[in-house]
Chain A
Amino acid sequence: MSKTQYSGVKVKRFSKGFVIAHAVNAISFFALYITALPMYTEWFDWLYPVLGGPEGARLLHRIFAIAFITPTFIWLIMDPKGFLRWGKELVTWKKRDLQFFTEFVKELFGFKFKHVKQTFFNAGEKINSIIQILTAILIIGSGFPMWFPDLFPKAVVQWAYVAHNIGFGLAIAVVVGHIYLSVIHKNSRPGYTGVITGEVPAEWAKDHYTEWYEEEVKKGNFPDLDKDKNKKKGA
């Protein structure tokens, strides 16, 4: 386990809308993954009895498919400001974003690394978001012709199977990495509690998302940790 000690000062990182949207997204993604596995590969045929037979698996897959569409709207309705910031950050790329990846690889494999100043979303999270958006479009868009084949031309239905597979393959590869970083990798683990409670340790936020943290300090929303530290030193 990490020996990292944080002072206990917490700051608000995620809105309620984000926390709910993220949870619905995560839960429905996994439910979709599990209910589709026996159809994807015969290694998982033993799941059919667990899921109530092929019909049960199909029904559950469709229920969770609807749930999977909702997070975007939940976030957009409950926290439009946060949603827009996300959109804006995804299209803003600077030199520091590229520097982030060099340092991130070192961090991932446990070597010494430097923090590169990042905004609310770091470059890794931005890439993750972009891939997730693209794959969600592929998966959801292709899901309709698969569900309602009578409403679409045959060629569209046939290519939908391909798109669903490519979308899923890409998504799961990214999700495995996303979960590893949040649950297992020690330096980014506070982010995991963050998406559940909405709050993260102030020091961690300052290290990982310096630019955002400093902005919030300027606005008077977050404590200025450097000032506090200097005070303590001086005392």
Chain B
Amino acid sequence: MADYIKYVDVTKCDGCRACMVACKNWNDLPAEPEEFQGSVQSHANVTANTWNVLSFIEHEDSKGNLDYLFRHSSCFHCSDAACVKVCPEEAMHYTDFGTVNVDSDKCVGCGYCEQNCPFDVVQLATYKDKNGKEYKKAQKCTMCVDRIEEGMQPACVTTCHTDAMEFGTKEEMIKKAEKRLSEIKDKYPNAMIYNPEGVGGTHTIYVLAEKPSVYGLPEKPKVPTSAVVWKDYAQPIGKMMLGATSMALVGAFVSSKLFNKEGKGHEEDGGGSHE
């Protein structure tokens, strides 16, 4: 199946926050009252129960003018996702559409995904079972995979009234982003397409008016080297070593039985065995 991408043109966003409401609404996410952030922004970052946050950035451009920048933020759905790599339960997985999803039945709440996401998107939500015992599950934007499966678009995209967001095939959306970039370059000389290679490209691509860091985004996000060392080297070698030592000892056991049938084996210098 073709890869589907959410295209976000932040220069068209007017900060209405309808995408946040639509996300909460469709996904039945509980309200999370927050302290005053010092700006119109409601939440500091996405959380386990707020998968979509509209960020408001007061920015001084190169000419010294104040620019008010908006960004719809949610999971990037990386093609080479650190969360998928480190998940020990295969709960984090790629869907048929190329997006990344959590299988809640498999998730054990270990938090490895939370620690390794280069965008700080994945977080653990706490729940209580019927006996009052607490347990945790990783939560994040699903790109409304349940809607996509039914031929619909993600709730945030459907609700966006300025067409700042669109959803479609990878080629189509990248073409759109490139065209838009050429249109806005005069007004925003620092404008760029944000589709970082360090995570294999993402399934939410942005046309940003300014450098990523202005939007609080890492300039060059990548799958943490530690995650690669851990999952691609340390763990397989560990399993191999356990196997190799066990086999060596099975060999030693068999060999001892073959060559040392009487249970005797050692010689002493200048003397016979005491056995």
A interface residues, Cβ below 8 angstroms from B: 1-5, 39-42, 45, 48, 53-55, 58, 107-115, 149, 154-155, 157-159, 161-162, 165-166, 168-170, 172-174, 176-177, 180, 184-187, 203, 207
Contact = CB atoms under 8 A, between A and B. Distances in A.
B238 A149 contact: no
B275 A176 contact: no
A114 to B, nearest CB: 6
A45 B89 contact: yes
SS class, residues of chain B in contact with chain A: helix
A149 B263 contact: no
Interface in B59-105: 86, 88-90
Nearest to A225: B274
Contacts of B135: 53-55
Q: How big is the B interface, by class?
A: 35 or more
B265 A176 contact: no
A187 to B, nearest CB: 7
Contacts of B217: none
A36 B88 CA distance: 11
B246 A168 contact: no
A114 B266 contact: yes
Contacts of A115: 266, 268-269
Contacts of B253: 180, 184-185
Given A3-B275, A54-B110, A172-B241, 9 more contacts: A1-B263, A3-B262, A3-B264, A40-B235, A109-B256, A110-B255, A111-B259, A111-B260, A187-B265
Chain A interface helix/strand/loop/mixed: helix
A110 B259 contact: yes
Of residues A41, A109, A154, A185, which shows the largest number of chain B Cβ atoms within 10 Å of its Cβ? Answer: A109
Given A158-B115, A166-B238, A170-B241, A109 B249 contact: no
Nearest to B237: A169
B242 interface: yes
A172 B91 CA distance: 27
Contacts of A165: 230, 234-235, 238
A155 B226 contact: yes
B108 A54 contact: yes
Interface in B200-229: 224, 226-227, 229
B239 A41 contact: yes
Contact of A169 (B108, B242, B256): B242
Given A107-B265, A161-B112, A166 B234 contact: yes
Contacts of B86: 161
B176 interface: no
Contact of A39 (B108, B115, B252): B108
12 contacts: A4-B275, A41-B88, A107-B266, A110-B257, A114-B266, A161-B112, A162-B234, A168-B238, A173-B241, A173-B245, A185-B256, A207-B268
The 3 residue pairs across chains A and B that have the minimum distance between CB atoms:
A169-B238, A110-B256, A54-B108
Nearest to A203: B274
Contacts of B112: 161
Contact of A109 (B237, B259, B266): B259
B226 A162 contact: yes
B154 interface: no
B31 interface: no
B111 to A, nearest CB: 7
B179 interface: no
Nearest to B250: A180
A172 B241 CA distance: 9
A4 B242 CA distance: 31
A168 B108 CA distance: 21
A4 B263 contact: yes
A149 B266 CA distance: 53
Nearest to B260: A110
Q: Which of B135, B226, B241, B269 counts the most chain A CB atoms within 10 A? A: B226
Nearest to A156: B226
Nearest to A229: B274
Contacts of B246: 176
Nearest to A4: B275
A28 B253 CA distance: 27
B199 to A, nearest CB: 15
Interface string B103-146: 00000111110011000000000000000011100000000000
